Structure 1
Amino acid sequence: MKKISTLFYMVAGVLSVLGTTSCNDDESYDFPGDSMNRVYIKPYTGNDFLIVHTPVMSTSSFDLKVPAYVTRGHSEAIKATLAIDNSLIDAYNTANGTNYEALPEQALVIENQTVTIPAGSYYSADSLHLAINEEVVSQLRSETGYLIPVKLVSAEGGNAAVSTNMNSSYLVAGVEVKTGMIDDSASDQNTQGALVSERTGWTAYVEESDGVTVNGEISSLFDGNSSSEWSASSSQPFHIVFDMQKTQNVTAVTAWYSYYGWYDYCSFSQGTKMEYSQNGTDWEELGTVPYINGKNVVLYAPVPMRYIRAEIPVVSDWSGTKASIKVGEFNVYVK
């Protein structure tokens, strides 16, 4: 029994030492057989970026900072250099069944290609910064999108070497071309300009004379009192035309009603098609209303218009299937 007891405590002592050594080494990422301090970058796991083209402007959400990391502690600074390596695109497309294109060289703004990992740190103090060049963003219209491969190309100091398996990261920038002026990603907080304060003479009418049931006075849309509502409904889609009497540089259209005074809803349902005109005869597309959590239909930029025409679609809700609209107040934001 004495020998068994002694053996038990000897094994327990060895395990205790091993456990302590393992905890102390966790932070250093000390891989057996590799004497180098490996510099690496993490694979990008966020959402794809987007280049958006509208009739008046082109924008891009592509803006990213890429830091570098090391596997071990080190007593001197390490310099790591990163670059865009388009030679990786073909292999990526083959492996993933994609057809991404390379961005033109002048399309990227690149800052801090060489970053510094300070002594004792496990990541760089600065980062590679990538963004789309605003001067050429309007030319970026690939139908399949763009791939931006970031690669570590060198590491110096602190017994450092580039990682053999974590040395690249792939970024995707898709392209979306919008035909209308309605910003389907905007909210009320993105509305620019100011509400028109003088609406004297403003009016509206339903183009279809038959089959549309109307309740309320059209003048209530412009009286400053949201509780005086006007509504219209039909079994078929119909059109409402709003006449502002003169040309306005419109940045957003707001038509809303109040639900028993508790919450304000946009009067235009999702799928409402909107057009604008200067003379009430020749119409141009404004866009299709997205789902709106608020009151305003926000435009990408100011659009000069006097008339606004809305095609009210047939939708299904708790009250049935029909085309309908309820408006407490109608106005526009202008710049």
Structure 2
Amino acid sequence: MKNRKNLFYIGMFAICVLGFAACGDDETYDVYGDPYNRVYILDNSKEYKIVQTPVSTVSNVDFTWEARCSKKASGDIRVTVAVDNSLIDAYNEEHDTEFEALPVEAVVLENAEMTIPAGEMVVADAVHLKLTDDANVLSTLKSAKGYIIPLRLVSAEGGNSQLSTNMLAPSFLTITVTEDNMNHEAIKYTGTGTLVADQTGWTATTNDAVGSWAEPIETIFDGNYETSCYMTTDSGDLLIDVDMGKSYSFDGIKMTVFGYDYETYTEKEIGAFSAGMIVSTSDNGMDWKSQGKIEKDAAACVFYAPLTARYIRIIVPDVSGWGTYWECGVFNVYAK
């Protein structure tokens, strides 16, 4: 029995020796890296805004994108980027959006053909996308669905380069459009409208409490800034809805309150608008349209163009999470 085991092991050893001998006769192979210098670009999708006013278009679209390669370029590499609107439908389906292609005449694409210099790994001239300066074109960009610009890397030539196979994700620049009729630079009214002389029948309501020690909310229509109403919330935004009883065409809203001039030690009328307030209007008291956000303390909210509405809503945001307050002595509109 012992001899049989020995013979078995001897046989197995002989087979292994033959196997190694056979391997030794074969050619040997090494594992080489990618022979190409791969050009890639990282997803840098961003969100932008277009604000349309009656006198101008304001936008923050300003995008740069750098192409790179996986190792130092042996020679100059020419890289091309393009807008590819064929990607929009798939994007909208995936994100449940309805973005539209931005009109070609609105897009300015600089350095669409970039160069990675020999010895470098990043382009010397990054692609730069912005909007045209043509005011006539910009004024037409009013899609409520918003716009999207898909950018992708389309080619790489020179320096033994090829496009990456796994790092070519496009960048999607999404643009929302809002209309803003508010002149954010104005802190007082300088137009030609006149304050409504008879505010009989005007009413105001708030979503929270009026200070019991202050004047009733109706006093904001008496024209006297010294009789003020004080409103507060324990939490959440404060809403003040004004019903003017009928529709007015107006290009400004006055809100002031009692103040004090510490230089002359005298009382004075000061603005009751504060930064962050949102002004909305409505024809029926249910469907509201935002007219813009107050950006600085002011005595008047001034509009570029007259608007017509019966209801005005002032939202005082709760920025602390502990509630907010608002004091007003005079509320009126500059009717046209």
Task: Give the TM-score, by structure 2 length.
Answer: 0.55
**Are the structure 2 counterparts of residues 266 and 62 from structure 1 closer, same or farther at C-alpha, using a change threshold of 3 Å?**
same
**Are the structure 2 counterparts of residues 60 and 292 from structure 1 closer, same or farther at C-alpha, using a change threshold of 3 Å?**
closer
**Are the structure 2 counterparts of residues 258 and 312 from structure 1 closer, same or farther at C-alpha, using a change threshold of 3 Å?**
farther
Conserved? CA contact 2:50–2:176, under 8 Å:
yes
Query: Aligned partners of 2:119 and 2:243: how far apart in 1?
Result: 68
DSSP-derived class of the 1:214 partner: helix
Conserved? CA contact 2:115–2:123, under 8 Å:
yes
Q: Which moved more, 1:290-299 or 1:72-81?
A: 290-299
**Are the structure 2 counterparts of residues 256 and 159 from structure 1 closer, same or farther at C-alpha, using a change threshold of 3 Å?**
farther
Partner in structure 1 of residue 219 of structure 2: 214
Query: Aligned partners of 1:304 and 1:293: how far apart in 2?
Result: 20
DSSP-derived class of the 2:228 partner: strand
**Aligned: 1:163 with 2:139:** no
Partner in structure 1 of residue 237 of structure 2: none
**Are the structure 2 counterparts of residues 233 and 214 from structure 1 closer, same or farther at C-alpha, using a change threshold of 3 Å?**
farther
Number of aligned residues: 260
**Are the structure 2 counterparts of residues 141 and 35 from structure 1 closer, same or farther at C-alpha, using a change threshold of 3 Å?**
same
**Aligned: 1:43 with 2:43:** yes
Conserved? CA contact 2:107–2:131, under 8 Å:
yes
Conserved? CA contact 2:273–2:301, under 8 Å:
no
Query: Aligned partners of 1:97 and 1:311: how far apart in 2?
Result: 33
Conserved? CA contact 1:182–1:289, under 8 Å:
yes
Report how far residue 114 of structure 1 moved: 1.0
Partner in structure 1 of residue 4 of structure 2: none
Instruction: Could you tell me which runs of 5 or more consecutive residues in structure 1 were left unpaired when the two chains were aligned.
Output: 1-30, 184-189, 221-228, 241-247, 276-286
Query: Aligned partners of 2:277 and 2:91: how far apart in 1?
Result: 38
Conserved? CA contact 1:273–1:288, under 8 Å:
yes
**Are the structure 2 counterparts of residues 34 and 97 from structure 1 closer, same or farther at C-alpha, using a change threshold of 3 Å?**
farther
Conserved? CA contact 1:257–1:328, under 8 Å:
no
Partner in structure 1 of residue 105 of structure 2: 106
Conserved? CA contact 1:85–1:150, under 8 Å:
yes
Partner in structure 2 of residue 266 of structure 1: 273
1:236-315 correspondence runs (5 A):
237-238=241-242, 255=256, 266=273, 270=277, 272-273=279-280, 288=290, 292=294, 294-296=296-298, 302-303=304-305, 311=312
Conserved? CA contact 2:189–2:301, under 8 Å:
no
Conserved? CA contact 2:224–2:329, under 8 Å:
no
Query: Aligned partners of 2:330 and 2:201: how far apart in 1?
Result: 21
Query: Aligned partners of 2:196 and 2:144: how far apart in 1?
Result: 43
DSSP-derived class of the 1:176 partner: strand
Letter in structure 2 aligned against 1:146: Y
Query: Aligned partners of 1:314 and 1:191: how far apart in 2?
Result: 20
2:185 aligns with one of 176, 191, 196? 191
Q: Per-residue displacement from partner, 1:218-256 (whole Å, max 9, x unpaired)?
A: 466xxxxxxxx441479x95468xxxxxxx997x97746
Report how far residue 43 of structure 1 moved: 0.5
Q: Per-residue displacement from partner, 1:44-82 (whole Å, max 9, x unpaired)?
A: 243x12233344444433221222111112343322111
Conserved? CA contact 2:155–2:163, under 8 Å:
yes
**Aligned: 1:60 with 2:54:** no
Conserved? CA contact 1:216–1:231, under 8 Å:
no
CA RMSD of superposed structures (Å): 5.2
Instruction: Could you tell me which runs of 5 or more consecutive residues in structure 2 were left unpaired when the two chains were aligned.
Output: 1-30, 204-215, 232-239, 245-249, 263-270, 283-288
Q: Which moved more, 1:111-120 or 1:84-93?
A: 84-93
**Are the structure 2 counterparts of residues 254 and 158 from structure 1 closer, same or farther at C-alpha, using a change threshold of 3 Å?**
farther
Task: Give the TM-score, by structure 1 length.
Answer: 0.56
Query: Aligned partners of 1:289 and 1:140: how far apart in 2?
Result: 18
DSSP-derived class of the 2:139 partner: helix
Letter in structure 1 aligned against 2:34: D
Conserved? CA contact 1:206–1:238, under 8 Å:
no
Letter in structure 2 aligned against 1:145: G
Query: Aligned partners of 2:327 and 2:217: how far apart in 1?
Result: 11
**Are the structure 2 counterparts of residues 37 and 105 from structure 1 closer, same or farther at C-alpha, using a change threshold of 3 Å?**
same
Report how far residue 85 of structure 1 moved: 1.8
Letter in structure 2 aligned against 1:191: E
Partner in structure 1 of residue 91 of structure 2: 92
Letter in structure 1 aligned against 2:72: G
Query: Aligned partners of 1:132 and 1:38: how far apart in 2?
Result: 31
**Are the structure 2 counterparts of residues 293 and 32 from structure 1 closer, same or farther at C-alpha, using a change threshold of 3 Å?**
farther
Q: Per-residue displacement from partner, 1:6-56 (whole Å, max 9, x unpaired)?
A: xxxxxxxxxxxxxxxxxxxxxxxxx9642211111110243x122333444
Query: Aligned partners of 1:165 and 1:80: how far apart in 2?
Result: 17
